[in-house]
Amino acid sequence: MKAIRGATTVDNDEAEEIRKSVKELLTEIKVQNALKDEEITFILFSTTDDLHSFHPAKAAREAGFFVAPLFAAVEPEIDGALKKCIRVMVLTESDNVPKHIYLRGAKVLRRDLTNIINIALDGPAGSGKSTVSKLVAKRLNILCLDTGAMYRACALKCLQQNVKPTDEKAVNKLISSINITVKHENGVQRTLLDGKDVSEEIRKPEISMHASTVSALECVRTKMVELQRQIATKTSCVLDGRDIGTNVLPNAHFKFFLTASPEVRAKRRAEENLQKGFNTPYEEVLAEVIKRDNQDTTRKIAPLKQAADAVLIDSSNMSIEQVVDFILNKIQEKI
Ligand code: DC
């Protein structure tokens, strides 16, 4: 059994408006989900307590929904909740992936379904950003854009061409012709450098410091930020980075800044490296974490910084699941 959810609003508590809105909502759910009458097992309504003039279940019968049993309840009054709202849950035996429908004023309840939403998730290396971003994106069924991978690809190109990441003139020349693209396969990002998939190569520990160094250059940031904005304006995504909330998307719908103590982050990074087959001693990783933090937070252009309107999460004593749930709850509170 699957549940298709939906909601709509009326401007006035009038029978005719309620009839019209219920019919429109149920018809849209039926059409968008290619439902046959006999596949609808149950229709449940709830209405805000400012609607009295017509029963939504009756409106459903009048609209031709004869087969399914119907039920309607009144919701308790909640401060700040949407007014004159009719919510529905259609239970079905259909095998299709449910398409939830939010109409009229109720569109604001699910911006993720009706509009593009961007979630900025910034923070230092090893804070758990990349794992958390992927999980949040998966739960919301949107893309996850790992912006660090783009800077890593720039660093790889420098290494391949024997260009020092501090040599701005040489990097500028190299950047003008670089071709970095990302594609998503089953929700997993693949990063392409000049057409070649470098997703694994850019994860090598030696790339990290070079990426941090090269990312301080204006020519690199201008190009990468443009690419990131292009993607974010076309599709809903979680962007994992350093400057998303402050610089790339200052108007992102949701902003989080995820951090943890350098010791915890170094421990996580060392374990992560080990899993990837790189045995790097903890002390070495800690020294690099501190150095990279310093470099990323003190660079002149778009340094790593918490946006004033970002929600701070210290994950030192939190599990990945706890962080993911915290973020999803915060998002849910707002949409
Ligand atoms: O998240 P990461 O470790 O893959 O990032 C590698 C480097 O790229 C990081 O040290 C700083 C830089 N970076 C950045 O400057 N801005 C971003 N939005 C993402 C990463």
Nearest Cα residue to 85 out of 108, 62, 105 = 105
For ligand 1, the distance from its centroid to the CA atom of residue 111, given in whole angstroms, is 28
pLDDT digits (tens, 9 = 90+) for 28-58: 999 888 899 999 999 999 999 999 999 999 9
- Which residue's CA is the nearest one to ligand 1's atom 13? 148
Name the band, by pLDDT with cuts 50, 70 and 90, for residue 111: low
pLDDT for the residue 112? 67
Name the band, by pLDDT with cuts 50, 70 and 90, for residue 82: confident
- 233: number of Cβ within 10 Å: 10
Query: Are the C-beta atoms of 117 and 111 separated by less than 8 Å?
Result: yes
pLDDT for the residue 109? 81
Name the band, by pLDDT with cuts 50, 70 and 90, for residue 272: confident
Residues 306-318: what's their mean pLDDT?
Answer: 96
Calpha distance 144→141 (Å, rounded): 9
> Average model confidence (pLDDT) for the chain?
93
pLDDT for the residue 119? 96
- Which residue's CA is the nearest one to ligand 1's atom 20? 148
Name the band, by pLDDT with cuts 50, 70 and 90, for residue 308: very high
Residues 144-167: what's their mean pLDDT?
Answer: 96
For ligand 1, the distance from its centroid to the CA atom of residue 321, given in whole angstroms, is 23
Query: Are the C-beta atoms of 86 and 7 separated by less than 8 Å?
Result: yes
For ligand 1, the distance from its centroid to the CA atom of residue 241, given in whole angstroms, is 6
pLDDT for the residue 328? 92
User: Which residue ranges have their beta carbon within 6 Å of ligand 1?
Assistant: 125, 147-148, 151-152, 208, 211-212, 215, 241-244, 292, 296
